[in-house]
Amino acid sequence: GAPASGKGTISSRIVKKYNVAHVSSGDKLRDHIEKQTELGKEVKSYLNEGKLVPDDVMIKFMIAELRKVDNRPWLLDGFPRTVGQANALWEVQPVDVVLNLVVPFEVIIDRVKSRWVHLPSGRVYNIGFNTPKVMGKDDVTGEDLVQRPDDRPEAVQKRLDIYETVTRPVIDFYK
């Protein structure tokens, strides 16, 4: 699905119901950004501009993340995003099932305007759908919620444009 189509929300429900490992490229990368690792610094510059992280960086990173889950079943969230990434993943680990979330772009743009995140945990709130108990505060810790830089309207539009040209062909790859 496109950026902000609900991949993380749906993924977390599947993970809970079926007890599979959740490997979210976005969550893992944001963790590196928060910890200011070399990878995090590199990735931050791409995300702030609404660009995709280059294939070679993502492939190496995500294959390493998949190896950490050993023989457990897993759910990938946000990867692969290009046909090159899909090919590389298929060579290492053929995929059994692929889900594609179809959400109109207008709905996505409205969603991100109302989306707030607790960065340390990755918990996502959406005003009007999953509103925090106290506005601007995480329900669990009471810490501040923030809007992610890649959720700015101009960055979202750029991410949607990239999705149309670069990521949509991945759907055909898996058909």
Domains delineated in the chain: 7-174 (3.40.50.300)
Convert the pLDDT of each residue in 106-151 to its tens digit.
Answer: 999 888 888 999 988 888 898 888 899 999 999 999 999 999 877 8
For the beta carbon of residue 96, count every other beta carbon within 10 angstroms. 6
For the stretch 90-101, pLDDT in tens is 999 899 999 999
Give dist(CA 20, CA 34) in Å, integer: 25
Q: What span, in angstroms and rounded, lies between the C-alpha atoms of 90 and 63?
A: 11
Structure tokens at 168: 């949509």
8 A C-beta contact, residue 97 and residue 75: no
Q: Which residues are catalytic?
A: 7, 81, 115, 148, 159
% of the chain with per-residue pLDDT over 90: 53
Average pLDDT estimate for 11-37? 90
Both tokens of 36, joined, read 């200011």
C-alpha–C-alpha distance, residues 41 and 23, integer Å? 20
Backbone angles phi, psi at 79, to 5 degrees: -150, 135
Task: Quote the tokens at residue 104.
Answer: 């109109």
Q: Which pLDDT band holds residue 56 (cuts at 50, 70, 90)?
A: very high
Strand partners, 125: 116
Q: What angle do CA 53, 59, 61 make, to 5 degrees?
A: 85
Question: Cα separation of 54 and 137, whole Å?
Answer: 34
Structure tokens at 100: 């594609």
- pLDDT for 50 equals 66
Give me the chain's average pLDDT, please.
90
Answer whether 47's CB lies under 8 Å from 133's CB. no
Tokens 């062909």 belong to residue: 169
Instruction: Record the pTM.
Output: 0.76
What pLDDT score was predicted for residue 136? 95
Mean local confidence (pLDDT), 16-28:
91
Tokens (6 digits) for 3: 């950026």
Q: Which residue bears the tokens 């490992």? A: 21
Identify the H or E element spanning 105. Answer: helix 105-113
